[in-house]
Structure 1
Amino acid sequence: MSLFSNSSETPLPPLPNPVPAAPALQQPAATRTPENPQHAMQLAQRMRERFSQGLVGQEQLRESLILTLIAGGHILIESVPGLAKTTAARLLASCVSGTFKRVQCTPDLMPADLIGTQVFDFASQKMITQIGPVHANIVLLDEINRSSAKTQSAMLEAMAEGATTIGGERISLPQPFMVIATQNPIEEEGTYTLPEAQMDRFMMKTIMTYPSSQQEVAMLSLLGNQSSDTMNFERDETQSITLSDVAYLRSAARSVHVSEDVKKYVVDIVSTSRGAGTRPIKGLSSLVRLGASPRASISLLRVAQAQALISGRDYVIPEDVKSHVHDVLRHRILLTFEALADGITADQVIDTIVSTVPVP
């Protein structure tokens, strides 16, 4: 049985006048209207053009950020210092004309420093609520693994619930809301490793690498044309979209049609990581101690829908699933100590899974 229901099996509700009612089994408007995917492509291209103004190379990171935003998830970025993680996050916020907050995580960072707290106002003789930096459209948690487990839990709760509770008052987070967390893989002193269950809350994990020599020269040329090394993140009307456009993209992505065969393909990939699937991999248990959860299936499907949408299609194909399968699964597949000792990576295991699972 598939984990997802086919949207084409549910009749549409009557549409308001003067638009005539749609046939009962017709696809939703976002998939029926051919200009919608084209409009989504245009919006995504405007975001890419905005990124090109301040970020040289890093196409994989750019696409992962755009897809995560459209799919309604959060992303974890792993890289060494100095690869423009903060610049990419600020560029994304300026692309969508949203608010941006950066939190530098440290061991003494408290949950109240993130979500907010209540303070006594002497003028009114009442307690007033001061919201924290998490109340923004795009929140960058720099070096999240330097914050304590208590602070990490507070942030991840806000990610899951879409709201915070301050002094018994529930405050909804602004929409769209997206967390971009970073961690440094080379410094372990003074860090608190993210638990596997909390890592699973991130829709994607992308790994940034050093730019090529040509890209680094292009970066220097870009800086040479500016009066300052600090980029201007002011909104550009010609290369930015609005928060309403983001809401449209998210709604349209959810309406992208996914066939039963593609759904089974998604589940087969995730199940194979757990030692099951239609073609179980012999000896996988000696490499993987814990496979991906059903949440991975949901994330993989949502990312595939977003990929199809910005590719100008109203339906998902297997290539959409495979395009970002590493980003979706690499932090959800836990390797055995023997595999780690042999230098085997999660990406290598994913490559084996993708090559083994039959493509519909």
Structure 2
Amino acid sequence: MRILHTSDWHIGRSFHGFSTLDALSGVLEALVAQVRENQVDVVIVAGDVFDSAAPSAACYPLLSQTLAALADEGARVVVTSGNHDSAARLGFQSALLRSEIAVVTDPLSVGTPVSIDDEHGPVHFYGIPYLEPAIVRHLWEGVELRSQAQTMQHALDLVRSDLARRGGRSVVAAHCFAAGVDATPGVEREIRQGGLDVVPLPAFDGPDYVALGHIHGRQQLSERVRYAGAPLHYSFSEEGKPRGSWLVDLDATGLASVRWIDLPVPRPLVTLRGSLDDLLVDPRFDGHDKHWVRAEYTDATPQPDPMRRLQARFPWCATVVHQPAGVRADDGVAYSARVRAARDDGEIIEAFLAHVREGEGASDAERELIRDVLDSRSVAEAAK
């Protein structure tokens, strides 16, 4: 049996204020083509199908059309809900979908598989929707579920118990943060370093393959436990990271092979760094007009209207960050001492500008303006 493992579609998500719906539609069309070209039997979508619990109306057709297209290619589809999904909304659609498509959102269904046969017998697919301990702990009396680790351990114990009765090969699809993940690149945006509620890797023992979602970059925790990541880049921290899916083959005895299949990247990410003038005119930055751009300008002081000016050259400039190239050396002279040493108001203003602009005082044009203002004030005071 051949399985395609994908996750974290996040239909409806924006990228720095830009809609990603059209780009995601194109990538999902490519995914459907890969299912056809590789003769995939089952597609797993491991949670976070939508980006919010209340997606806009435009999001639903993309999901329905993609699921129908996958089924039209002869694939069975198993979808689980993630922390971004509304289990109720996603589950409501399941009754309206074709028989080839299973949407698993009910926590009480954990331990009850979708069984699909091949020439070697059944493969049991156990969907585990995202389980928030505070919401689901009342469902299983006498079981302490205070953490994600405890909750997932219980869910996987239910899977192992059912599998022991049924026998055969098995695949788990779940949405969680597993121990051993590199928490720096491509991490789900709600995850923060410190206090992470992680699921220990031994909790996933038993199934032939574990298809995980929640992390936006591909990661391999073991030969049989993997994250596929998101099909689009949703953060500049993912710059240069591949997008795609895991193609999983099961033989008569279990896991036979796993290989990665790249998806197209509609608009690559790039970080450009230099002074604002360089970013605006330097030829070395040619060729990035079709990229998502993060611009880091290194001028000593903030420049006026940098986003508008940069978007004239890079229409898809999504974010601008002021990162001065150097930090002013501390000469040990306090600002108050500089003010006391000033001989007139012009020097006081000069000292202030240098203090707040990393040592950069007034330009010639600014000095002329300052003199005009001070001279006008002097004339006005003399006329009183």
Report the TM-score, using the length of structure 2 for normalisation.
0.25
More strand by share: 2
**TM-score in terms of structure 1 length:** 0.26
Rg: which structure is higher? Answer: 2
- If each structure's helix is expressed as a fraction of its own residues, which one has the higher value? 1
